[in-house]
């Protein structure tokens, strides 16, 4: 196994709770296993995963363990709770090689009935004025998206509700609307928001309350708008979330949960608990995006996922293997990830 470091500039700086990000930095892993070559990507995101330095140290330790004790011991060395991005990189390369050796796509490796693996995706509409929001929504619908997720919670609730109302009026009732508050509201504001969003036929509100408040999220359910949890998986175990009665939808980021295998397992466990899984990226490079698409493609009748994120990058590791066409992404053909390892610079 080998690793190389990369840095991908963003098309527009990204503001997060941990600061402004201008580049996505990480590591490409290359792994020889079962007479096949697998590739993976470890791209940590501050505030969501370990730091870049922690990721590098974890990968170095895994490499040493692999040399001495093999791939199983090396994978066990990478704790999904502390170094999820590093584990994602190693696990993806291993899965890519395994699926390639078996002659199936990664989606088919997860689920033999995955088939061609076409996945519906949502467009994300950032915070902006009412006119800017409507213009972005109309543009997304014209590009073939029939599901839009609006960022809310930055400004006043009244303004957000006005934006949602204006978008609904502009795109009609056939387009699915979602909102994402990133935990910005308190209980009183969130309660008022749910009532207002229900009037406009919003499908779900993502993380309306802080991640710690599972009980508050449970109280918001069954009022006409589904409750989706995302950041909650950073502060609670999946078992705690499943047992809390706090979610209708669970947003899964493979880079955050320790790899595509973990993400698919959690998706199936969520389904068993009556919770709908949605797969998203953390603005990753092409390898991790492809892996996330395979995960989503292996979830039967998956809802629109947050995988249309290539445009956030000004440069990428390779030409986009998972482009959006009319609001859908198809998992790449071919075994494993469907990416030729030789296309990725060593």
> Which residues form the catalytic set?
151, 253
Distance separating alpha carbons of residues 61 and 56, to the nearest angstrom: 9
β-pair type (147-151, 123-125): parallel
Contacts of 216 by beta carbon, 8 Å cutoff, 6+ apart:
187, 190, 209
Angle separating helix axes 130-142 and 157-171, nearest 10 degrees: 30
β-pair type (202-206, 176-180): parallel
Upper half-sphere CA count for residue 45 (Cβ side, 13 Å): 20
Distance separating alpha carbons of residues 55 and 254, to the nearest angstrom: 15
Q: Find out whether 41 and 253 touch, Cβ atoms under 8 Å.
A: no
Q: Find out whether 127 and 65 touch, Cβ atoms under 8 Å.
A: no
Starting at the earlier edge strand, list the strands of the sheet with 276-279.
123-125, 147-151, 176-180, 202-206, 226-229, 249-252, 276-279
Q: What DSSP character marks residue 122?
A: P
């Amino acid at each position: 196994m080998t690793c190389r470091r990369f840095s991908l500039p963003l098309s527009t700086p990204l503001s997060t709770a941990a600061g402004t990000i201008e580049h996505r930095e990480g590591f490409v892993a290359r792994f020889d296993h079962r007479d096949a070559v697998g590739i993976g990507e470890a791209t940590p995101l501050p505030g969501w995963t370990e730091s870049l330095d922690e990721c590098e140290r974890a990968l170095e330790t895994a490499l040493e363990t692999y040399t001495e004790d093999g791939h199983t011991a090396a994978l066990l060395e990478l704790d999904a709770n502390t170094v999820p991005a590093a584990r994602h990189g190693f696990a993806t390369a291993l899965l890519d090689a395994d699926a390639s050796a078996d002659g199936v796509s990664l989606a088919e490796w997860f689920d033999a009935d995955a088939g061609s693996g076409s996945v519906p995706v949502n467009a994300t509409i950032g915070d902006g004025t009412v006119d800017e929001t409507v213009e972005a929504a109309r543009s997304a619908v014209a590009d073939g998206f029939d599901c839009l997720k609006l960022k809310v919670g930055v400004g006043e609730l009244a303004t957000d509700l006005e934006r949602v109302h204006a978008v609904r009026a502009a795109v009609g009732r056939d387009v699915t609307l979602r909102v994402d508050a990133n935990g910005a509201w308190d209980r009183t504001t969130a309660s008022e928001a749910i009532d207002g969003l229900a009037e406009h036929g919003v499908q779900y509100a993502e993380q309306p309350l802080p991640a710690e408040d599972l009980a508050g999220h449970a109280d918001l359910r069954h009022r006409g708008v589904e409750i989706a949890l995302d950041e909650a998986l950073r502060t609670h175990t999946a078992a705690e979330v499943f047992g809390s009665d706090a979610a209708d939808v669970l947003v899964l980021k493979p880079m955050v949960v320790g790899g595509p295998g973990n993400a698919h397992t959690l998706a199936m466990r969520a389904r068993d608990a009556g919770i709908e899984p949605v797969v998203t990226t953390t603005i990753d490079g092409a390898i991790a995006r492809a892996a996330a698409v395979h995960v989503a493609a292996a979830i039967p009748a998956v809802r629109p996922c947050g995988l249309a994120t290539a445009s956030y990058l000004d440069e990428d590791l390779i030409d986009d293997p998972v482009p959006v066409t009319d609001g859908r992404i198809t998992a790449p053909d071919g075994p494993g990830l469907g990416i030729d390892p030789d296309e990725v610079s060593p």
